[in-house]
A and B are shown apart, each in its own frame.
Chain A
Amino acid sequence: MKAPAFDYVRPQSLGEAMALLAKSSGEARLLAGGQSLLALMNLRIAAPALLIDIARLPELAAAVDGVDRVILGAGITHAMIEDTRVPDPSRGLMPRAAASLAYRAIRNRGTIGGSLALADPAAEWPAVFAALDGEITVASPRGRRSLNCAGFSTGIYETQLAEDEILENVRIPKLSPGARWGYVKLARKSGEFANALAVAVADPARRFCRIVLGAANGPPIVLAAASQVLAEGRSDPDRLRGAVAADLDRAADRHFDDFQRHLNIVAAARALQQVTA
């Protein structure tokens, strides 16, 4: 189908975009890569009155390679990360995740900020940036604030973003040289949305170990017991599976059928094995 009618504006600066969004009283949507939003509009699931095109804003294209972290503007595309055209703080985890995300034609336009702001439960970046302990900067006419990637999404397609806020950048700590990671996406077809997604990061030098489950019928789940197993450096597969199962039992607000539960445990166990192998 075709999108319903809307107005379109392309501001020249982040300040102008914030002003347009603030005065739209909830009738506008921000257009970045549009790879989800325009699909939802073509399907007539979304029908904003105004699109504010932020895809070309220079403020959202910046990539800063700092001492202990990398700052990536929200407008950076999946393909730029896949091709390492921007600095990679994750020692290969982010390019690996980017390459598994949809298809090249989608990755050429879709952005990290758009993925995080949409908060599709099956999306890759919310889980990856949560596993890397990233922080998100959001900007509005009221000022800026910083939010942890873990917890940024509050529900299916729901985030902590206020109506007048624009996701400006993601700040990702650099992994130490000895850090290891695991990334497992289970999907019936390459490029499809994940049926199960697990991201594990072990960085002993920074005393940081975390395993996150995506595609979890809601926001990514930080698996506390499994992260503890990861921190202990154990690779006993039964113990890993038991810890993941215990974490899933604690996530009482999620409802997984037996098949989904099995996929989640398999994905998490495989990600942990990649780290400890």
Chain B
Amino acid sequence: MTAIRLTINGTQIADDVPARLSLADYLREPRNLTGTHLGCEHGVCGACTILVDGEPVRSCLTLAVACDGCQVRTIEGFGSDPVMTALREAFHRRHGLQCGFCTPAMLITAHDLIRRGRAASETEIRLGLAGNICRCTGYTNIVAAIAEAAVAAAKGPPDAE
């Protein structure tokens, strides 16, 4: 076991972890943050995508022990973040999910695309989503939801207008 200290969704945590424990398994089991999903466990499906130090990463291809000193943000950690709020509403309105397995990572990837200004067209959104696999929707409604959220996020919250 190795001692690590990290911040998860704003809370500082000190823990001991075995070297082989992935960040995904660490979040899901001892931390009980089960919104992070594991599909393929080799970096292809994208279901485990979370933010480490503000950037999306595959938590199945990241060791918990290597995150000592890092800031981790999972789908549970977005609270009233305005872009995530716009995304949640747009996914709801546009029916951007069916079974929901891919949804947390879809939201996190979409959040990053909007943050980096890479959600300006359908083509750009589809390219940005290539690393997140959905087996239900055929992507059409997910892409539409992200496009809608990108427009809403650019306008800002209604009370700011």
Q: A35-B43, A53-B66, A55-B66 are in contact. Are A5 and B57 (CB under 8 A)?
A: no
The reply to whether A108 and B55 form a contact with Cβ atoms under 8 Å apart is yes
Kindly provide the distance from the CB of B55 to the nearest chain A CB, expressed in whole angstroms: 4
Count chain A residues whose beta carbon lies closer than 8 angstroms to a beta carbon of B: 30
A7 to B46, CA, bound (A): 27
Count chain B residues whose beta carbon lies closer than 8 angstroms to a beta carbon of A: 29
The reply to whether A2 and B46 form a contact with Cβ atoms under 8 Å apart is no
Q: A4-B20, A31-B66 are in contact. Are A191 and B61 (CB under 8 A)?
A: no
Kindly provide the distance from the CB of B27 to the nearest chain A CB, expressed in whole angstroms: 14
**Interface membership of A106, Cβ < 8 A:** yes
The reply to whether B57 and A8 form a contact with Cβ atoms under 8 Å apart is no
- For B42, the chain A residues whose CB sits under 8 A away are 39, 42-43
**Interface membership of A3, Cβ < 8 A:** yes
The reply to whether A38 and B112 form a contact with Cβ atoms under 8 Å apart is no
Q: A31-B66, A109-B62 are in contact. Are A104 and B20 (CB under 8 A)?
A: no
Residue of A nearest to B21 (CB): A2
Tell me the A residues contacting B by CB distance below 8 Å: 1-8, 10, 31, 34-35, 38-39, 42-43, 51, 53, 55, 79, 102-106, 108-109, 189-191
Q: A104-B56, A105-B56, A109-B61 are in contact. Are A6 and B19 (CB under 8 A)?
A: yes
Tell me the B residues contacting A by CB distance below 8 Å: 2, 18-20, 22, 25, 41-43, 46, 49, 55-58, 60-63, 65-66, 68, 109, 112, 127-128, 130-132
A-B contact list, 5 entries, CB within 8 Å: A2-B20, A5-B18, A31-B66, A104-B109, A109-B61
A109 to B42, CA, bound (A): 14
Kindly provide the distance from the CB of B106 to the nearest chain A CB, expressed in whole angstroms: 12
The reply to whether A7 and B19 form a contact with Cβ atoms under 8 Å apart is yes
The reply to whether A5 and B20 form a contact with Cβ atoms under 8 Å apart is yes
A42 to B24, CA, bound (A): 13
User: Which residue of the partner chain, among B41, B43, B60, B131, contacts A104 with CB atoms under 8 Å?
Assistant: B131
